[in-house]
Amino acid sequence: MINTKRQAIALLSDHADPAAVVGTEEAGGQNVYVRQVGENLAALGWQVDMFTRKANPEDPTIVQHSPYCRTIRLKAGPETFIPRDRLFDHMPEFVKSFCDFQTQQAYSYPLIHTNYWLSAWIGLQLQQKTGIQLIHTYHSLGVVKYDSVTKPKIAHTRLATEKAILERSSCVVATSPQEKEILKTRVSSKGQIEVIPCGTDTSNFCAIPKVSAREKLGWFPQEKIVLYVGRFDPRKGIETLVQACASLKNQGCDKLKLVIVGGSLTDRIDGQERQRIEQIVQDLGLDEITVFTGQVGHDLLPLYYSAADVCVVPSHYEPFGLVAIEAMACGTPVIASNVGGLRFTVLPEETGLLVPPRDVDAFAGAIHRVIQDEVWAKKLRKQASASVNQRFTWNSVAIKLSHLYRYTLARTIMHEQPWNPPQTSPLWTPVGEEVKRVAV
């Protein structure tokens, strides 16, 4: 039930279940973001209800994370895993389930924070019928993503929705100044944008002495450990890292060890990409120096980060990249592609290095620089954890979001309608597209 003593708000996260195990399939940064934001907002005095799609009949419908923060799984299509690029058809049912839930609870959320474009679509549907305030975080932007992949059929709807939410929400949250710039120049010049970065749990992600971390993991002190952490997805660029390690080995780099964390062995995208990467490792003769650990939880990840000499984030495109700040929080220098949010989080020569995406020689050169110069690496380690502690804690993210919500709700109560969303037929309905309307 809704706690009437607290202001209740809804976070929508269509596919990324805040209660899911992170690191496999499509469970990654967005799941962590919604869960952390939710829990930290609850600690600040809000009642937070996080809504996601039920993807497994065995999952409980409601998961209570803390007295004032819960995940609610709604019916939206069959209760089975569906990749996010095939979820749109089930979103009208999500809207209906959300409205039914509100009716059962006899409560309508005055403010909804949507995450990812599918939730934005749901939010826009709800906004048409009721005067709710919308706040939105993109997590991934179609306009950038489609620069590097073939546009799917749904692209037109996604791009139109991403433009509409910018123009019609109370405010969108960009997680880096780079994202704000892209929104203004490539999505729409209209709309309110606040830069509020993602965060990390610095009480969990903090430095453990390298020697003891290695001892616990059974890794030798003299090894040069290069770490990857994340989902298996072609856009993560794991292939570039593997090739860079092969190049280093061929140049005679001694005692190199590549540790790849994350992924599953399913026959879905995640498992397929893992098999492809394993094959490349084999073809390049790196089997003996490469370890695939599979998914590792946040409880153990600090050990992996702390034990590594360097963490590499070779993504072709990365909206923010939680892994980079988790690694730096543990005092591990990061070598990352010079793209997206990584350009904001990784400070070149201070907390790591930025190199052009897909550039095998540049990655090899940067890894070599860090693992060969222990004095410099030590300096980077210190600066990396200090930088994250100053700039990227979940608590500071929640405080900024909390201010934004309060400001937005206060303006609503005063009937000022500051950002004046158009009430006419929505600009974002793509002509001739099969966008479905539902009665709410």
Binding site for ligand UDP (CB under 6 A): 22-23, 28-30, 32, 229-231, 261-262, 295-296, 298, 301, 320-323, 326
In angstroms, give the least distance from the CB of 190 to ligand UDP. 28
The residue among 123 and 230 lying less far from ligand UDP, judged by its C-beta, is 230
In angstroms, give the least distance from the CB of 229 to ligand UDP. 5
The residue among 191 and 321 lying less far from ligand UDP, judged by its C-beta, is 321
The residue among 167 and 201 lying less far from ligand UDP, judged by its C-beta, is 201
Q: What is the DSSP secondary-structure string of 305-334?
A: HHH-SEEEE--S--SS-HHHHHHHHTT--E
Structure-block tokens of residue 190: 């209209």
Among all chains, which residue has been given the structure tokens 């400001």? 407
Residue 263: CB atoms within 10 Å: 26
CA 276 to the chain's CA centroid: 24
The residue among 177 and 365 lying less far from ligand UDP, judged by its C-beta, is 177
The residue among 125 and 345 lying less far from ligand UDP, judged by its C-beta, is 345
Residue 357: CB atoms within 10 Å: 22
51, 90 Cβ separation under 8 angstroms: no
Residue nearest to ligand UDP (CB): 28
Structure-block tokens of residue 54: 């039920």
In angstroms, give the least distance from the CB of 100 to ligand UDP. 30
In angstroms, give the least distance from the CB of 432 to ligand UDP. 32
Structure-block tokens of residue 284: 């390049």
In angstroms, give the least distance from the CB of 134 to ligand UDP. 22
Q: What SS3 state is found at 372?
A: helix
**Which ranges of 107-154 would DSSP assign to H, the alpha helix?**
116-129, 142-148
Could you give phi then psi for residue 369, rounded to 5 degrees? Answer: -55, -45
The residue among 278 and 326 lying less far from ligand UDP, judged by its C-beta, is 326
In angstroms, give the least distance from the CB of 420 to ligand UDP. 33
